Structure 1
Amino acid sequence: MEPARRRRRPAVSCILCRKRKIKCNRGTPCSNCMRSKNATCIYTNAPPPVSETRRQGTFVEPSQTRERPGVGSETASPLTPSTLSTTAPTNTAAETPCITIVDTHSPLNSNDTPNNSRTAPEEPTSACPAAAYTPFSTFTRNSRVETRPLNVSGDFYFHCEHRLASQPQAVKRSVTHKTRLFGPSHWANSAIMLYDMLHVLERSLRDETSNVLRYEKRCKALARIIKARRAPPWPCPPSPELPARAMCDALIERYLSTSEAVLRVLHIPSFRRDYEALWDLSSTPDPAFRVQLKLVLALGAVTYDSAFSLRPFAIRWIYEAQTWISAPEFKHQLVLPSLQTGILLHCAREAVGVGEDMVWAGVGTTLRMAMYMGLHRDPSGLGPKKKSPLIAEMRRRLWNTILELALQTSLTSGGPPLFNLDDFDTEPPGNFDDEQLSRESQEAPVPKPQAEFTQTTIAIALRKMLPQRLAIAKYINDLSSRASYAETLRLDAELREAYKTLTRSLHTCKSPSGGPPDFVLRSLEMVLRRYFLALHMPFFSPSFRESEFAYSRRVVVDTALRLWRAAFPVPLSLSPESAELDDPLARISTCGSGLFGTVAIQGFVAVAVELKTLIREEESLGLLGPGEVRPDLLLALQDFKAWSWKAMEAGETNSKVHLVSSMIFAQVEAVRKGLDETQAAEYIEKAAEEAEERSLRLLEEVEARTRPIQEVEAVGVGVEAGSSILDTPPEAWGTEDWDYMVSDFLVDPTGTENLSWVFQSAFG
């Protein structure tokens, strides 16, 4: 008689602990995986809830972290690396909710082991009490969200939502850095895909004989000095000084043909009338209009020349406007001219790069101010007093522009749009040219046919695609949203159909001048196509492992190339370095900040990762050789390197973008040349050193040009005329004058230098 077989108990430890035959605390992730820096902590079966007596974290009720979807999002408890609570979707609303709390307040360094580690982090806990359920929660017992710090000094926390077999496919990601949370559409979420490529370079950068880090520290110190000299003192009250009349005229025309042609803010005849009155010595100047004018000049300065020579003046004009608009007198701001100034301030800050990361928050304030003024209600239904045609149309235009800014900054910052289609009933702007509207006329003009191109056609076109784009922004960035690939494909189809219809109608538009300007069409393409990039980027990395996401891979790469060619129809790498960029959109993309910077980095990531994958595939098949890799991707990668350098020539002080682009391009070239590991490391390090040396010399020249005369005479600087800091012995660089300017992230607190400065660079 065979002995009765013992029933096999279900495994409760994670796979790694079972393999190592060590005790698992059943956390998510478990303490052993956290200590060993395991990227994933996987259970065959879901870990059982930990009892109340074993809790070490602080339980967060669902009602504390989430209210009804779309309501109360601004009152949610703050998210910090020490207490992170995220969840995945549920298939059954009646399931008991489970919130996983992961404490990553004290992440271990990659060199730490259980034997020599520092104080270990608190063990994560899971709790699923039935009393925590609310009707609006969407939590499930089997949900697990891994929160792991990237091993770059423990500064970055990537929150990735894992898919379970019984749930819809979902990929959601965000990044916590210092006090900021970058949502899924922020470019930082895509930059993580380059980490394995950068990690290959870490070994060469640890060499004590390498000058790359030394050069980088000096570049950072010079950048801080240059930026400090550009910024005026705060507060900066508006001054009456203006550039010469000819310069003002040129900058205004630049603004009207670029920014105003896409985002309608001004009534151009009224603006010109007030501008002429400003130069009339017999009239009393209006301080509010002078502030507005300076913001127009700042936006025009971005495209004035390819070197952005007016950058210091543009920064001062923005500071003056910020001081003026911050005055604690609120009622005078509740008028249309003040609202126009606020919109121009947001546009100028983003274009010039003055606190551009915070524009999304400022646009939210402007959106609420516009609602307070009633712009979210159509003028035809407001009060017994009928609005004049000009006022009514300007209210529609300004509301339309505010919605567009809220949507665009939402995608750039990774934050939710914070408005819905049912929050307003304001009609889209009419198809008018500005000359059809006047201050004196009370008769409503007749709008031109939709087939006729006017100064408002682009604003109307953007409004037509607002529902599709808003749905995508909410789908990507809203906290209550759960991404599934089927929903991604549905939104892609809707956006693609609307985009095709819109482009066909625009290309058939006619006007006395012949149709839409080339700048307007290319700008519109950049604004709209970036939604395809944001929509499919979360599935780009999984597409290399799972064939079902192959469509996303193709869309991301194709969109990245199209966006790049919209900005630079002529490849930058094929033109002489000294060539003047006389194309307005190319100048905005090179001299300005904001939209294109985000698109460029995301496109660079997509192209670099795609090239890396293709090279590996070709290499594994033994087919790699001259001309085997896609030349269009290689050209785009080389273009990004050229763009990063031209941006520095135009006043960009961050040298790390040029450094990273040079290193990754060198890595691709090393593989194409068939270099072995040692030769490739030397080749990459040489490229990095050349890039940093080049950047250092440029920043030295800029610093010397911006150095006050008094400082030169008083200090003497210690570097002879015509010489370079590179001619100074490296040991002389670490003087007290420079130490306090070097950022903390350049020093690894554990004593081992890593790539934290590469990722930190883009976060300021």
Structure 2
Amino acid sequence: MSLTFNHLSADSFESHLKAGRKRPRVREPVSCWQCRTRKIRCNREAPCKPCQDRGVSSECAYTTSKDKDGQSQPVSRAHSVSRPKARATPSQSQTQTRTQTQTQTPSPSPSSRELTPETPSAGERRELIPAPGRNVFQGSSVKTRMMGLSHWMAPYNEMIVVKAMLDRAPEFQASRRSFAELKVLVRACNALPPSELTGPTKGSSLRGLLPDRETCQCWTLQYCRTYGRIYCIVDPAALDLEMDQICAGSLENPVNIAVHLLVIAIAMQNVESERLNGRRLARYVEDCIHLSPRFQKPSIAVVQVLLLLTVLKSISASDTDKIYDLMAIQGLTIQIVSSMGLHRDPALFPDMSPYHAEVRKRLWACFLRCNLAYCIRSGSQFNLPLSESDCPLPTTANLRYLDPATANGAFDFDFESDDKAEGDVAFTIAATKLAKIIAPVYQVLYSTVPPELSKMQNDLRAAFRTLLSELPPSLSPKSKIEDPIRMLQQSVLMVLMDSFSSVVTMSSTMGTTVGIFERSQLLEIWDYTSSVLHKFQNLCQQEGEVGNMAVHLLWTHAGRAALSACSVVRRLRTFDLNRIMPPHPQQSVYIFQRLLVDSLIFLSQLWQSRFHLGPLTAKINLILAVCLKVTASLYSTDYDDAERIRHELLAEGVEAAEKEIADMKLKLQQRQQAVMPADMFVGQQQYSPFSSPGLSNMGSSWPTKYDMVGHSEVSSDAETPPFQNHDFFAMDFQPDAAFTSMITNFNFPTEGAALQDSAMAFVGDPAVVSLMS
């Protein structure tokens, strides 16, 4: 039988040219027309700083479109988006195309200077100066990375004093210099030594990083009682079974060993004396991901490793501000998840056990939550196509009883009760539902097409009300909860709802003048931000690991809420300045100011005890100190003159910044002289609790089951701190003679006995105890 093509025609084998794009794509300009022509950096202001320095502020315009000849035309971004042209009929479009084709003129030669667009006329210049887009903003005037509205520092664009400080205004020149010196010291306190992995890793090399069986069980238990109840990534029973196999030598897969290392590393983040050691473990695992081909093969264990590493790097980013280091891990995770079909229904895969089907559901739910949290935290777009996913929500079944290997086994592991396990899965289900509600709205908010905010807000409120009605009693906001972790789970849901609602509402108020309608929206933002700050303060006042976990998980929401509340109070204060009658002390704005000052005092005290953990915590502490001083002085300045108020507030901000930086330097030097060895200079002291033959220079003992917060000895052969090398400093900071002298006098302790005596004196000092509490 011959192969025929009777069902085809000759036209079937012709390759027709596809029609072009039906409409031009609108893109946000990254620089003004003058800066783009001269190829210089633009700060996206209106007008921008380079145009102001050159005296051509009236010629600062943003170009987005091109004509048929391909020549750029300076068109206002506000006109191109807010004034769309009416669609032409097919006959009109054909007539216009023929007319444009007949009237085309030859373009000039490439070597001609006529390629530069003509300068707009004076009448056009007033229309060509737009305001930057509301859905993106720039971190500061000296940075080119564009961040979205959900970034925690987005509200600073509406704050006069904080914006001047971050944009390196002349008034803050001295404080900026001092803060650069402080960041160098803080980075040195939290620096990690360089990695020692240079080649492909095997299971035996990672096995040497694991402590003894009892210590592993201790850290794993702490993880399962804390972060394991927030992210259902691993099965505790499977972890215990794998640990027995690893200790017996029957399991040497580096992927499975990496899971245990990351579980231990995450558990260490709640112990300040061990947090850097946990991050060092995570760095070894990350090096293995790039060096070992086993981590590139799609499997359940590889997805668990990537998700655990995402959680750990998100925690460390709360101190170091390196959330963008997750971009590579996020890309690899998306690739492996897609190749595994983790977003599809497990019922589509034949011969899949109920245990693995449930594990796939929970991993997809955790991946969706982690990816959305990264996008909201970094202010980037969320690009997961949720319409192509048909994976159902997890069930409340206990994984221990679904796996035949762990159903009837006897374990030394102290499992949580079935009720707690069921409640944790219920939280995962509720958090996944919330992510599925927020993700489409987040995508619309970051699209180039202006959304209908009123309709979007109404739909979002209705979806949130439906979700709240479906919550189990253990997560309901009306129920009284005694379990601290359950309280944290409930607050995570409520804070995310209020925080994202404030982001949506803030998208319509940034860059606008305060009117009657804008005032109602500002009051709505105040309601959301005050709720976030109240819940965050209640969590941080809890005993145990809950307060530390609340900072790790919710610090961006608290920071955004604090800055948004400061912006709201400042704009409402400006609205009062335009009134004929002065505001009464009992009016709402004055009460808002007093409540906000109380919240800022608590946040400032919280980050004053954490500024030494990384450059980001020091930056947050500085911003909060300035916000507190400026907010407290809003109603103490002259009432009638707005320009005088601005200068007085700038002076107050400069004074607060210089005082706070000096206090942080003094406290850091005091900590350096008397702090415990586990907290300071890990990279220089070669401190780590790895008890393995390959890491013999890191002499220390792991904490036992009965001593979770034990302190370790420090090697006496400490290295010289790398302060004399000018490459150690940042690119925008060069040390002078005074700073070099200060660094020389910054004594690094080297003797273990002296450290032990100073640590004992440090613990017994009541002032230090109150500072660290």
TM-score (norm 1): 0.66
What is aligned with 2:445?
476
* 3-state SS in 1 of match to 2:146: strand
Alignment of 1:461-540 (within 5 A): 461-477=430-446, 479-503=447-471, 506-507=474-475, 517-540=486-509
* 3-state SS in 1 of match to 2:334: helix
* 3-state SS in 1 of match to 2:455: helix
Choose the corresponding residue for 1:687, options 656, 674, 679. Answer: 656
Alignment of 1:688-707 (within 5 A): 688-701=657-670, 705-706=680-681
* 3-state SS in 2 of match to 1:456: helix
CA RMSD across the alignment: 4.8
Choose the corresponding residue for 1:223, options 166, 182, 186. Answer: 186
- Between the aligned partners of 2:165 and 2:481, the Cα distance in structure 1 is 57
What is aligned with 1:584?
545
> Offset of 1:505 from its aligned partner?
5.3
Indicate if the aligned counterparts of 1:172 and 1:482 stay in contact, CA closer than 8 A: no
- Between the aligned partners of 1:412 and 1:84, the Cα distance in structure 2 is 33
Amino acid at match of 1:699: L
> Offset of 1:124 from its aligned partner?
5.9
Indicate if the aligned counterparts of 1:396 and 1:427 stay in contact, CA closer than 8 A: yes
What is aligned with 1:129?
67
What is aligned with 1:32?
none
Cα distance change of structure 1 residues 84 and 235 upon mapping to structure 2, 3 Å threshold: farther
Cα distance change of structure 1 residues 232 and 131 upon mapping to structure 2, 3 Å threshold: same
Amino acid at match of 2:394: P
What is aligned with 2:96?
none
* 3-state SS in 1 of match to 2:341: coil
* 3-state SS in 2 of match to 1:182: strand
Amino acid at match of 2:312: A
- Between the aligned partners of 1:408 and 1:545, the Cα distance in structure 2 is 31
1:265 has 2:233 as partner:
yes
> Offset of 1:370 from its aligned partner?
1.3
1:601 has 2:559 as partner:
yes
* 3-state SS in 2 of match to 1:663: helix
What is aligned with 2:624?
661
- Between the aligned partners of 1:182 and 1:613, the Cα distance in structure 2 is 23
Indicate if the aligned counterparts of 1:82 and 1:105 stay in contact, CA closer than 8 A: no
* 3-state SS in 2 of match to 1:629: helix
What is aligned with 1:44?
none
Choose the corresponding residue for 1:568, options 519, 530, 537. Answer: 537
1:326 has 2:264 as partner:
no
Choose the corresponding residue for 1:317, options 269, 281, 295. Answer: 281
> Offset of 1:232 from its aligned partner?
4.2
Amino acid at match of 1:585: V
Cα distance change of structure 1 residues 490 and 258 upon mapping to structure 2, 3 Å threshold: same
Equivalenced residues, count: 597
> Offset of 1:364 from its aligned partner?
3.8
Amino acid at match of 1:456: V
> Offset of 1:244 from its aligned partner?
5.9
Q: For structure 1, which segment, 625-634 or 350-359, has the greater mean C-alpha deviation from structure 2 after superposition?
A: 625-634
Cα distance change of structure 1 residues 104 and 115 upon mapping to structure 2, 3 Å threshold: closer
- Between the aligned partners of 1:106 and 1:331, the Cα distance in structure 2 is 40
- Between the aligned partners of 1:502 and 1:118, the Cα distance in structure 2 is 59
Indicate if the aligned counterparts of 1:453 and 1:516 stay in contact, CA closer than 8 A: no
> Offset of 1:440 from its aligned partner?
4.1
1:387 has 2:352 as partner:
yes
> Offset of 1:738 from its aligned partner?
5.6
* 3-state SS in 1 of match to 2:383: coil
* 3-state SS in 2 of match to 1:465: helix
Cα deviations by residue, 1:184-212 (Å, 9 ceiling, x for unpaired): 3223432211245554999996488xx63
Q: For structure 1, which segment, 391-400 or 611-620, has the greater mean C-alpha deviation from structure 2 after superposition?
A: 611-620
Percent of residue pairs bearing the same amino acid type:
14
Indicate if the aligned counterparts of 1:128 and 1:141 stay in contact, CA closer than 8 A: no
Unaligned runs of 5+ in 2: 1-19, 71-76, 84-128, 409-416, 639-643, 674-679, 687-714, 736-773
Q: For structure 1, which segment, 536-545 or 389-398, has the greater mean C-alpha deviation from structure 2 after superposition?
A: 536-545
- Between the aligned partners of 1:681 and 1:349, the Cα distance in structure 2 is 36
Q: For structure 1, which segment, 177-186 or 678-687, has the greater mean C-alpha deviation from structure 2 after superposition?
A: 678-687
Indicate if the aligned counterparts of 1:230 and 1:315 stay in contact, CA closer than 8 A: no
Alignment of 1:409-424 (within 5 A): 409-424=374-389
* 3-state SS in 2 of match to 1:316: helix
Indicate if the aligned counterparts of 2:42 and 2:48 stay in contact, CA closer than 8 A: no
What is aligned with 2:596?
633
> Offset of 1:502 from its aligned partner?
3.4
Cα distance change of structure 1 residues 112 and 298 upon mapping to structure 2, 3 Å threshold: closer
- Between the aligned partners of 1:190 and 1:639, the Cα distance in structure 2 is 20
1:545 has 2:514 as partner:
yes
Cα distance change of structure 1 residues 347 and 491 upon mapping to structure 2, 3 Å threshold: same
* 3-state SS in 2 of match to 1:467: helix
What is aligned with 1:293?
260
Indicate if the aligned counterparts of 1:388 and 1:442 stay in contact, CA closer than 8 A: no
What is aligned with 1:48?
none
Indicate if the aligned counterparts of 2:495 and 2:535 stay in contact, CA closer than 8 A: yes
* 3-state SS in 2 of match to 1:519: helix
What is aligned with 1:377?
344
Indicate if the aligned counterparts of 1:453 and 1:515 stay in contact, CA closer than 8 A: no
1:105 has 2:74 as partner:
no
Indicate if the aligned counterparts of 1:160 and 1:173 stay in contact, CA closer than 8 A: no
Cα distance change of structure 1 residues 79 and 231 upon mapping to structure 2, 3 Å threshold: farther
Alignment of 1:109-188 (within 5 A): 129=67, 142-143=80-81, 160=131, 171-175=134-138, 178=143, 180-188=145-153
Cα distance change of structure 1 residues 746 and 671 upon mapping to structure 2, 3 Å threshold: farther
Cα deviations by residue, 1:678-726 (Å, 9 ceiling, x for unpaired): 87666544432221011112333566641746999899889xxxxxxxx
What is aligned with 2:391?
426
What is aligned with 2:330?
363
Cα deviations by residue, 1:302-348 (Å, 9 ceiling, x for unpaired): 223xxx22222122111111111123525863111111111111111
Indicate if the aligned counterparts of 2:32 and 2:63 stay in contact, CA closer than 8 A: no
> Offset of 1:387 from its aligned partner?
0.8
What is aligned with 1:611?
569
Amino acid at match of 1:629: I
Cα distance change of structure 1 residues 714 and 451 upon mapping to structure 2, 3 Å threshold: closer
> Offset of 1:295 from its aligned partner?
0.9
